[in-house]
Every structure is written in C-alpha cells, then in structure tokens.
Structure 1
Amino acid sequence: MRIAVTIFLTDRTPSPVRLAHELERRGFHGLYLPEHTHIPVSRETPAPMGGDLPEQYGRTLDPLVALGQAAAVTERLALGTGITLVAQHDPIDLAKGVATLDHLSGGRFTLGIGYGWNREEAADHGVEWSTRRALVRDRMALMRALWAPEPMPYDGEFGSVRASSAHPKPARAPRDLGAGRALHGPRTLLGGSAGPKLFAHIAEFTDGWMPIGGRGLTESLPVLRGAWEEAGRDPKALQVVPYAIHPSRGKLDHYAELGIEEVVAQLPAADEPEVLRALDGLAEFL
C-alpha cells in the first residue's frame, strides 16, 4: 500500500520545499494539494463538512506552483492535485502548466480533477453552475488534444483549439480508451460522489476515481468496475485512490482486499511542529 498525503498548504504552514524534503526522507509515496483561487466572503454555499468553512480554504497556495517547488527538491516523491478545479481555468493555459510540471518532475504528476462545490467561487470565474460538468468534460478533451503526440484540433461545445505545436508533452504514454481512442496526458483521477454520471465520466476520460473519505467502497466499486468495462476499458487499468482519509490498520487492510494500492492521508493545515507530529503518527503505516 502506497501512502501519500494531502494538506492545505498556506502562507502559515511549512513551505512546499520543507514538507517535500520530510516526506521523501521518511518514505512517503507522494504529496497531493487542493486548489481554491479565492473564497468570496459573502456566500450561500454551505461548507462541505458542515459548520463554518475553515480559514485555510481562503489561504491555499497555488498547487502547480507549490508542487513545482516540491518537484525541484525531490527525486522520487509523487506529486498531484486533489483537486484541480478545471472549470475555473483557461484550458490552454492549464494544459501548458500541467505538461510543464509533469515534464520537469520526470512524469511524477497526477492530475486530480473535480467539478467543485463552491458556487460563488465558480461564478467569479464565469462558470455557469448547471453546466460545469459538461464544461469540465469539454475542457479535458481540449487539453488532451494539446497533449497528443501530433498536432490535433479540437472543436467543442465550450471551446476550441487549432492543431498546434504544444510542447512539452506529458511524460506518460497514451492509454487505450477502446474504439481506436487514446487517453493523452498525465495520470488523471476524477473526484466526486459515487453515481452513474460520475462513473460514466471516469470511464470516458480518466484513469480512475479519487473518492474523498473512502466510504462505501464495498458497494460502489463493483458499480464503477461495471461502467468501466462496459465502456471497453481494460479492467486492470482502473485506479482507485481514496483521498483525505484518516488511516487505520483495519481500513488499509479493507482497501487492500478491494484491490486498492494507494491512499492519500489527510494532514492538518498547521505549523511545522504539528505537521511533523502528524507525519510521525502516520509512520506506522509506511
């Protein structure tokens, strides 16, 4: 079982360089970072965990910039986002940033993506909430066209790009999607709650699922695997990475029985001594 971590890195936590050093030195598999560009003070969207929204949501570092620092001072540490809010980005710019980070890190990057939960944040980016899932699907297709080995145009519902020279390319080789289609780009995992629409999108344009909290997998994994195989995907290629979990021996054993090989544990958004104590607490699972 590979153990990675996630944390809200902010201007009040350890730096990406300091944390990356500690993770690689201690033998952790990877570092995943969330994304929020800003949190409007006046909002109606409830916090996903209930109650008041923790302060760190409005203080997060840009994940690609922070992971670039982490990549520069490590050799083996896997790097990822959990998650990138694709709907809130210009897809051409995002494709370039992702490909650059993956190239500079030697192919260590995982693009965790999602549809978002904060309506006010998305609205400031011009996102129409009811169409955000279709928007993400469209932007991922545009990005894959730019990541393709040869120039490839894309003309979609929400955007288009001409056949272009766009380098560097992500390091990972294309994956077979069936029916003569290929998945270009870094390993891509889609976050979100279990359901037929989510599972259809996972099978259509990603490498797997990033379920937050990891609950209910005994029931949901067979459904996802059914959707995956129905789409013509290789059953062995599906990757499921429970995210922001609080591990225990029993929980990890259960995940292993389900065929899961990687998890992402939650660290506190705290000062350096507290973060290092949390890493010490996770050491027994390495």
Structure 2
Amino acid sequence: MRLATTVFLTDETIAPARLAQELEQRGFAGLYLPEHTHIPISRQSPYPVGDGPLPREYGRTLDPFVALAQAAAVTERLALGTGITLVAQHDPIGLAKGIASLDFLSGGRFTLGVGFGWNVEEAADHGVADWSRRRELVRDRIALMRALWNEEPTSYEGEFGSVSASEAHPKPVQRPRERKGAPPLTGPRTLLGGAAGPKLFAHITEYADGWMPIGGRGLTETLPALREAWQEAGRGPEGPQVVPFAVHPTPGKLAHYRDLGVEEVVLQLPPADEAEVLRTLDTYARFL
C-alpha cells in the first residue's frame, strides 16, 4: 500500500521543494496539496471539519500548481496531486492548460483531485452564482477540459461553457482510460472528493477514476455501494480507485484499509515549519 502525504503549504511553512525532496528520499509515494485562493473576512460558511474559527493556514495557502511544479522540478519519482482543486472557481481552458503542462513536465506524475467546495463566499467571488448547481458546473468544466486533452481537435458545447475544436498542447502524458459505451477518459488520473452517496458515486462512475474520501471513515459500508455502482456503469474490473485522504495513521487503521483493498492512503502533515514537519515524517516512516 502506497503512503502519500498532504499538507497546507503556506508562506509560513516548510518550502515545497524541501518537503518534496524529503518525501522522495524517505520513500513516501506522493504529495497532494489543497487549494484556497482567498478567504473572505465576511465568510458565513461554517468550517466543515470542526467548530471555532477557521485555521490560519486556509487564508495563506500557496497556489497548488505553482508549488507542485517546484516539487516536480526537484524529484523524479514522487507522485504529485491536488487535494483538492476547486474546479468551479477556475476558467476551464486555463485550468486544462495548467494541468496538462504539469503532467507533461513531471512525466505523467499528476493526479487531479476534484472538490465541489464548501466556502460559498470564496466561490461567489469567482463568479459561482448558483451554489446549488456547482456539482453540475464542475462536471461540465471537466468535460470541456477533456475535449482539450483529446489527441485530435475536439469541440465541446456544454451548459456552462464551450470550446471550439482547437490545437491545445502539451497533452497530458497519462493515456486515456477506456469506458464501455462512452468516449475514453483523457487527461490525468482524476479522483473526486465528497461525502458518500448516490449522487457522488454517479459522478465518479461517469467521469472520474475514483474517490478521495476525507478521513476514510465508514468505508466498510460505503465501498461496496461504490463498487456496485462502478460495475453497473460498465467501468470494468480495474476500479474504482479509493484513496482515503488527510488520514492520521495508526497501525490498525492502515491494516483496515489494506483489508478493504485500498492501495493508497494520504497522510496528513501539520502546516508547520521544517523542523516539525520532518519530525512528523520520522514518526510516519515506521508505517512505510
């Protein structure tokens, strides 16, 4: 089972390049970075993982694609990913270019973690006007990006956006994944975040490679439902990939994931300076 990591990298924490080198040297599988462009002071959206004020790092987060590009430049094997990209808050044509460039420059090491968001005020500043339809917006934007990632110029006309058949290079290094009765999935490996349920699982089986559940609780009950939906959608025997995210590891927890057939787990690192992060890596190294 592969052990990757995630951390809120900020202007006050360990630097991306330093962390990436330490991860690769120690044998960790990957680095996933979150995304928040800004946190409006007038925020009314509740903090989704606890009571009290929003932790300081949310408003200081480095751009994940810039940080991951730095990490890619100083490593050779370390997998790189977002955990997660707030797709609704991006221009999809520009986002498609950035993703393809990072996958190309890293030699196919990028995973696109996709989230639907929780901060209404942040999303509104990006023009997300109808919060209740953000899942449909994300679905549409990913379809547009996949059109740009096709080998042949491909147009796309969606509810929220369109693109004409275009020359769009570089292409992602990762090869398309076949789907029964539907065009192949182009672009890098794509994992959707979100709470378990029929709506999320329908999105996963339609346009993603798997699921990125935060914390990984309740997988004994939810994994069979996702796997059944996957088979019913004709997606084949190789998925869905399930990657528990932001996990605080214990031997029992990791053994449980392994018994469920999980092949990758993303461990949470503290948003701290170099000394504290490296101490945490030393603690986690016993699980490798």
* Range of TM-score over shorter length: over 0.9
Instruction: Name the residue aligned to 1:241.
Output: 243
Instruction: Name the residue aligned to 2:44.
Output: 44
Q: Which of 274, 277, 282 does residue 276 from structure 2 map onto?
A: 274
Residue 213 in 1 paired to residue 241 in 2? Answer: no
Residues in 2 aligned to 1:67 and 1:86: alpha-carbon distance in whole angstroms: 17
Task: Give identity over the alignment, percent.
Answer: 73
Residues in 2 aligned to 1:3 and 1:274: alpha-carbon distance in whole angstroms: 19
Instruction: Name the residue aligned to 1:54.
Output: 55
Matches within 5 A, 1:134-283: 134-283=136-285
TM-score, normalised via structure 2 length:
0.98
Contact 2:101 2:172 in 1 (8 A): yes
- Structure 1 residue ranges without an equivalent (≥5): none
Partner deviation per Cα, 1:236-263 (whole Å, 9 max, x = no partner): 2310000000111111111111110100
TM superposition outliers: structure 1 runs of 4+ over 4 Å: none
Residues in 1 aligned to 2:221 and 2:49: alpha-carbon distance in whole angstroms: 22
CA shift, 1:235, in A, is 2.7
- Structure 2 residue ranges without an equivalent (≥5): none
Partner deviation per Cα, 1:21-67 (whole Å, 9 max, x = no partner): 11011111000000000000111101012221100000000000000
Residues in 2 aligned to 1:64 and 1:139: alpha-carbon distance in whole angstroms: 18
SS in 2 for 1:194: coil
SS in 2 for 1:32: strand
TM-score, normalised via structure 1 length:
0.99
Residues in 1 aligned to 2:75 and 2:38: alpha-carbon distance in whole angstroms: 29
Residue 65 in 1 paired to residue 83 in 2? Answer: no
Residue 74 in 1 paired to residue 83 in 2? Answer: no
Residues in 1 aligned to 2:280 and 2:138: alpha-carbon distance in whole angstroms: 34
CA shift, 1:230, in A, is 1.0
Residues in 2 aligned to 1:189 and 1:180: alpha-carbon distance in whole angstroms: 19
Contact 1:177 1:204 in 2 (8 A): no
Partner deviation per Cα, 1:127-186 (whole Å, 9 max, x = no partner): 021110000000000000000111110000000000110011111111112104210000
Amino acid paired to 1:90 = D
Amino acid paired to 1:4 = A
Residues in 2 aligned to 1:244 and 1:24: alpha-carbon distance in whole angstroms: 19
Q: CA RMSD in A?
A: 0.6
Instruction: Name the residue aligned to 1:89.
Output: 90
Amino acid paired to 1:86 = V
Instruction: Name the residue aligned to 1:13.
Output: 13
SS in 2 for 1:237: coil
Contact 1:225 1:235 in 2 (8 A): no
Residues in 1 aligned to 2:224 and 2:237: alpha-carbon distance in whole angstroms: 11
Residues in 2 aligned to 1:52 and 1:165: alpha-carbon distance in whole angstroms: 46
Contact 2:230 2:239 in 1 (8 A): no
